[in-house]
């Protein structure tokens, strides 16, 4: 900025020269009109309205003018800055309006479009029933026990009194793991969880163990190579078959309703002695063996009873192998397949429906409980 100078001729200060001021305004207006975005306009504003812009410099020169020249120069520069300021404000408004318009188009939501529907999942009925049964037993003070699906052959068979030559060992078509001498199998039953529990805990023991089991069956209407069992084991002083029946009855009532009666038949399992099979009265024909039209009941095949599963008093040999004194403690155990019971309960036509994982199947039952 020049110092005060009483002999000053404004025409000689080039920044204040009217032609230069006009040129600065024209240049600014051209730049403003050419600003295609708000960012561009910001740069234009700094260049033409900022502290270092020609008009700001011109404005600063006014202070150095003699009083007689100040008014005219001030008016000229003031008007020039005013025009630039207005043009920037107008362009700013235009560009903001354009931006808002664009955002409205870009972010437009058509509320009339059909929504992308995400089907609510549903838990598989096998899972639900297993949990319902386990929960009910937990409610009676039992604990849930678990074991691995990849089980040692010893726990799956030998410890359950199924020695290497035992015929029942061949009856359960087993998946062996490579190499065969690894001693590992995919467990064929949940019964090894009994052994694990007895080896781990001191009596009294009351456990329920739901889980997957595996056998080399082909998938057909009534078989599947992967299925589910639920195993119960109780070891305490003075347990008898009466307690076993009580537990089985409780189980069946949870699964098929309060009114369901059971019956037991003598049977054989190497890890129980005595052993029995339990049947429950057919929930479809209530034991009559025929439906309302007199035709043979399809759920029980006309017998009035449906097989539930195996059970018995834990074999003394098994107790001893697990370090439990059979003269002090006795126990009972039972193990049931879940799939078959569920198929009967819900009238599921074939095993395929059970295992294929179609959400529409699960949804029919998945909200239950
Ligand atoms: N584990 C037997 C099976 O898969 C079923 C079974 C029978 C379980 C008797 C038991 C039992 O706990 O006591 O065929």
Residue 323 and residue 350 in one domain: yes
Domain span including residue 144: 125-363
Residue 324 and residue 356 in one domain: yes
CA max distance for the chain: 132
The Å distance, Cα 288 to ligand 1 centre, comes to: 28
Residue 227 and residue 352 in one domain: yes
- Find out whether the beta carbon of 174 lies less than 6 Å from any atom of ligand 1: no
Report the run of H or E that residue 272 belongs to, with start and end.
Answer: strand 272-281
The CATH number of residue 286's host domain is 3.30.930.10
Asked whether residue 39 is domain-assigned, the answer is: yes
Residue 79 and residue 180 in one domain: no
What residues form DSSP beta bridges with 279? Answer: 263, 307
**C-alpha span between 266 and 279 (Å, rounded):** 11
Asked whether residue 111 is domain-assigned, the answer is: no
Asked whether residue 112 is domain-assigned, the answer is: no
Residue 164 and residue 201 in one domain: yes
Sign, Cα dihedral of 219, 225, 227, 229: positive
Going by their DSSP bridges, the two strands 143-144 and 205-214 should be labelled as parallel
- Find out whether the beta carbon of 335 lies less than 6 Å from any atom of ligand 1: yes
Per-residue pLDDT of the chain (369 residues; tens, 9 = 90+): 555 555 555 445 777 888 889 999 999 999 999 999 999 999 999 999 999 999 998 888 888 888 888 888 889 999 999 999 999 999 999 999 999 999 999 999 888 988 888 777 788 888 888 888 899 899 999 999 999 999 999 999 999 998 888 876 766 689 999 887 899 999 999 999 999 999 999 999 999 999 999 999 888 888 899 999 999 999 999 999 999 999 999 888 888 888 888 999 999 999 999 999 999 888 888 899 998 899 999 888 899 998 889 999 999 999 999 999 999 999 999 999 988 878 877 778 778 888 888 888 887 775 543
CA-based end-to-end distance of the chain: 88
Report the run of H or E that residue 92 belongs to, with start and end.
Answer: helix 67-106
Asked whether residue 114 is domain-assigned, the answer is: no
**C-alpha span between 364 and 157 (Å, rounded):** 38
Closest ligand 1 atom to residue 233 Cα is 12
Contact (CB, 8 A) for 241 and 332: yes
Phi then psi for 308, rounded to 5 degrees? -100, -50
Residue 33 and residue 136 in one domain: no
The Å distance, Cα 311 to ligand 1 centre, comes to: 6
Residue 99 and residue 155 in one domain: no
pLDDT in tens, 251-286: 888 888 888 889 999 999 999 999 999 998 888 888
**C-alpha span between 2 and 270 (Å, rounded):** 115
Asked whether residue 115 is domain-assigned, the answer is: no
Query: What's the confidence (pLDDT) of residue 2?
Result: 53
Asked whether residue 272 is domain-assigned, the answer is: yes
**C-alpha span between 341 and 126 (Å, rounded):** 10
**How far is residue 82 from each of residues 50, 63, 85, measured CA to CA in Å?**
13, 18, 5
**C-alpha span between 41 and 64 (Å, rounded):** 32
Nearest to 127 by CA among 209, 193, 210: 210
pLDDT in tens, 188-243: 999 999 999 999 999 999 999 999 999 998 888 888 999 999 999 999 999 999 99
351: Cα within 13 Å, side-chain hemisphere: 16
Closest ligand 1 atom to residue 336 Cα is 5
- Find out whether the beta carbon of 272 lies less than 6 Å from any atom of ligand 1: yes
Instruction: List the residue whose alpha carbon is closest to atom 4 of ligand 1.
Output: 189
């Amino acid at each position: 900025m020049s110092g005060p100078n009483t002999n000053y001729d404004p025409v000689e200060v080039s920044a204040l020269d009217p032609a230069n001021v006009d040129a600065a305004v024209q240049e600014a207006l051209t730049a403003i009109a050419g600003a295609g975005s708000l960012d561009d306009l910001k740069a234009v504003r700094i260049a033409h309205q900022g502290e270092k812009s020609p008009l700001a410099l011109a404005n600063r020169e006014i202070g150095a003018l003699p009083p007689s020249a100040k008014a005219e120069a001030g008016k000229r520069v003031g008007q020039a800055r005013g025009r630039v300021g207005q043009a920037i404000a107008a362009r700013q408004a235009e560009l903001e309006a354009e931006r808002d318009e664009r955002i409205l188009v870009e972010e437009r939501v058509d509320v009339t479009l059909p929504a992308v529907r995400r089907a609510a999942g549903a838990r598989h009925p096998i899972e639900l029933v297993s949990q319902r049964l386990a929960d009910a037993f937990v409610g009676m003070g039992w604990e849930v026990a678990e074991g691995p699906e990849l089980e040692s052959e010893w726990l799956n068979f030998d410890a359950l009194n199924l020695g290497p030559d035992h015929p029942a060992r061949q009856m359960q078509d087993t998946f062996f793991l490579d190499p065969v001498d690894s001693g590992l199998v995919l467990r064929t039953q949940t019964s090894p969880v009994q052994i694990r529990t007895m080896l781990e805990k001191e009596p009294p023991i009351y456990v329920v163990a739901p889980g997957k089991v595996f056998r080399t069956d082909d998938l057909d209407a009534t078989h599947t190579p992967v299925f589910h069992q639920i195993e119960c084991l109780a070891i305490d002083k003075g347990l008898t078959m009466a307690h076993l029946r009580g537990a089985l009855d409780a189980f069946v009532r949870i699964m098929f309703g309060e009114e369901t009666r059971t019956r037991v038949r003598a049977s054989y399992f190497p890890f129980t002695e005595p052993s029995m099979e339990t049947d429950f009265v057919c929930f479809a024909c209530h034991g009559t063996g025929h439906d309302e039209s007199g035709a043979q009941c399809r759920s029980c095949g006309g017998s009035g009873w449906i097989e539930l599963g195996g059970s018995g008093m834990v074999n003394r040999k098994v107790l001893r192998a697990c370090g439990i004194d059979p003269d002090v403690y006795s126990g009972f155990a039972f193990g049931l397949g879940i799939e078959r019971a569920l198929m009967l309960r819900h009238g599921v036509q074939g095993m395929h429906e059970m295992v294929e994982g179609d959400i529409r199947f699960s949804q029919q039952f998945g909200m239950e409980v």
